[in-house]
Structure 1
């Protein structure tokens, strides 16, 4: 027992030397990330893509990336390794994002400590952790939290002038999602005079070219669903930008030169580009919020009087309600697991299933025990066989011939009011169901409709 004392004393000494600004931000991020991690047992369609792609054999993943989704390729390979090591369900799907968010919060604190001090470091790191969009993607099985962590730590390495490490970490972020390269524009405001930064930036761009070339060929298929930024997107950008400009007033100049470009430039440039080529989604530049957290932490660290803290408290209360909502299935566009459960309740042996549009096949691909019991009458080649995300479908003529042979059809559709795909295959599905079947029931599920059709006169 005596021999344990020196070890315990050493551990206590190490713990006592850990400053609160190092420990509390990542700890807060972990606690928020684990809170309600399963989100009521829900999984929306983007996470479903991660799930089913990551569960494919390694060779099939590589073949898929040559055709589509190369921009997410490194993330899929990472998640493939996670599921190989631990088949942990929704926890395995989302824990990498929780860990990445904790790492990003620690990085924000480290930047603030270097530029301002310990008090600002603690406040900035915690501010990042509590921002609702950060909490949202901390609990999502997609790459955005990992990209944010890479950009944040690349920013810190830039300040330390560790150029080889800077290039490696930022390149990792870019290969997780290539729009991380927009952080180079923000970093240029701080480090453009440094020859080390210029060489590092050139190396990142050069080594990103292979991914950019492949993903550019896939851009129409990958981003064709996007429209130009909405007025809500511009309004959100204006609010965040105005808040950043207000917080920057009176903040240390070195911090402003790092934080303000990070807040404004990546999302602003992507939105302007999207007026010509619609590429903007706010999660693609989630890392920009690190700049807002830096400014907020620095401002609170030097706050005088009661009103800044009153405002911060009011925001925390609002964020609390937002945070509760983010941990519900209703916070996402749809719920693939709820769709699968509803289909399971309605399906009978021998039923056919048809997806309208075909890309909604994703709702069942992550629930093979449900999908496998149905006949996918429009399917030509499976996702694995076709090296695609949702498989390929029969020609319109073959779909027209196959559908009437089914006594009952379960159709999975977008919510009412969504635009109908004009493609011939989708038109044939609608026409055949309307002409040859009776609509027995329609059930609304989060972000989806499940319609049951039967031959005339056979609805229960």
Structure 2
């Protein structure tokens, strides 16, 4: 993936004020001196930015699902993956090992994602350097570190940062393999492809633009060695992913059945969410179009634009079939390509201060969003910490726990509270006939006869939604009846969008 032939962009002069510099994109010389470490400072900057305030926001339900899975014994976790969340299995296993060493505080749960984003930053810089020049690489390192989405998902205990890392690595490794297509260069590319698929199957859409780039190179060189080598590499890389695809297809109804076929307007919504800032998204898109305006950068820019845009378009089309995959975080892996394009565009502007000014503006547009990401309720308004504090303050051994589940179990209110309960508080989940671990599932099997499951429990902490005078709001009808028939309300406390009610047995 090297730069194309020389020419000045139509209607511009090389170095003319306010014009795009046509000298950029002529192919970067090997990095010398401090330039060799540009990838390192970019990685460190990204890690620092993503780590600042990472423990502030309360974990939301998807993160709590990660925590719940990761704290299980390895065998129990593997058994669960056979029934649900197999597509997240690689990440759960990684997080399981991590928390066993470093603990499960919010900051520690999210630390692996910050490290993954730091790794992605290194490959972003290397790609920008290889396709364009050092100025583009420096700009790319800054932009990537400070795009709000990088902090958002670098502070989230989910697999998306690892997918970004894998795809960013694959793009740079493809560039190297195309320069010298040897087995030693195709092998790490295969590893990156396999990692991307194992961390999130939808990310494999990047193989389509990669394949087109390979075919474009073949069309110019007419050597069958290149496409054959690429095809063999991809087939080998996908071998460990095939079982996951087959298992994931069996579980898709439980995983993403809530996603609906997207409309055209959803493309605009996805773009805003992709950067986690509508203003930054617009600025990023505008800057990303600049490299297409100058001849020397047109070919690498066009190839990179395929990596950035084609997966989004393909995901939109295929999501009109039986299953929708069109969700901003599923397509986050395209962000590195957009960042490199934008950095190349800003870096080529003349006078150079114009490019620096554009960089400053792009970063400044995200400051408000960066601050919001680090607030307590940035991810979720369900205040499990306050509920846990109320319970812990008046806890007695033998107390029961009745969180709202039923149709609302996807909100994982039980995890929200359990995460914050101190070790000394051991509540009996009164309406769980069989625990989630015993069921090899993310959720427990609830009692068919709730009244019988309450036998022997003197007090129960009921946690459900606030905003109503009914302390049993949204509990399944049979559970509500069992509590009303045998318990009286001692007190009820509102905690944000939740309310916690202590009930005591009357007969």
Pick from 195, 202, 222: which aligns with 2:255? 222
User: Match of 1:329?
Assistant: 376
* Whole-Å separation in 2 of the counterparts to 1:233 and 1:39: 30
**Structure 2: where are the runs of 5+ without partners?**
1-31, 178-184, 219-225, 273-280, 469-473
Q: For structure 1, which segment, 403-412 or 136-145, has the greater mean C-alpha deviation from structure 2 after superposition?
A: 403-412
Pair 368,456 (structure 1): closer, same or farther in 2 beyond 3 Å? closer
Pick from 78, 81, 106: which aligns with 1:90? 106
User: Match of 2:267?
Assistant: 234
Pair 83,457 (structure 1): closer, same or farther in 2 beyond 3 Å? closer
How far 1:94 sits from its partner (Å)? 1.9
Does residue 1:281 correspond to 2:314, yes or no?
A: no
User: Match of 1:100?
Assistant: 116
Q: For structure 1, which segment, 234-243 or 357-366, has the greater mean C-alpha deviation from structure 2 after superposition?
A: 234-243
Q: Which has the higher contact order (CA 8 A, sep 6+)?
A: 2
* Whole-Å separation in 2 of the counterparts to 1:230 and 1:431: 43
How far 1:432 sits from its partner (Å)? 4.6
Alignment check: 8 A CA contact 2:389 2:421 kept: no
Secondary structure, aligned partner of 1:39:
coil
How far 1:102 sits from its partner (Å)? 0.9
Does residue 1:428 correspond to 2:478, yes or no?
A: yes
Alignment check: 8 A CA contact 2:383 2:495 kept: no
Alignment check: 8 A CA contact 2:392 2:425 kept: no
User: Match of 1:174?
Assistant: 197
Alignment check: 8 A CA contact 2:87 2:244 kept: yes
* Whole-Å separation in 2 of the counterparts to 1:415 and 1:128: 40
Does residue 1:204 correspond to 2:232, yes or no?
A: no
Alignment check: 8 A CA contact 1:45 1:336 kept: no
Q: Select the structure that is richer in helix.
A: 1
Secondary structure, aligned partner of 1:304:
coil
* Whole-Å separation in 2 of the counterparts to 1:283 and 1:348: 42
**Structure 1: where are the runs of 5+ without partners?**
1-14, 418-422
Q: For structure 1, which segment, 202-211 or 231-240, has the greater mean C-alpha deviation from structure 2 after superposition?
A: 231-240
Alignment check: 8 A CA contact 2:348 2:355 kept: no
Secondary structure, aligned partner of 2:498:
strand
Question: What TM-score results when the alignment is normalised by the length of structure 2?
Answer: 0.76
Pick from 494, 499, 505: which aligns with 1:443? 494
Provide, for residues 181-229 of structure 1, a one-character-per-residue CA deviation record: whole Å limited to 9, x for no partner. 1111221231234312222223334432110001111111122344454
Describe how 1:15-54 pairs up with structure 2 within 5 A: 17=34, 19=36, 21-39=38-56, 42-54=58-70
Q: For structure 1, which segment, 276-285 or 91-100, has the greater mean C-alpha deviation from structure 2 after superposition?
A: 276-285
Cα RMSD of the aligned pairs, angstroms, is 3.3
Pick from 366, 375, 393: which aligns with 2:446? 393
Alignment check: 8 A CA contact 1:100 1:149 kept: yes
* Whole-Å separation in 2 of the counterparts to 1:268 and 1:125: 26
Provide, for residues 30-88 of structure 1, a one-character-per-residue CA deviation record: whole Å limited to 9, x for no partner. 21022112125x32222222223222211111111111111111111112222333336
Secondary structure, aligned partner of 2:377:
helix
How far 1:347 sits from its partner (Å)? 4.6
* Count of aligned positions: 435
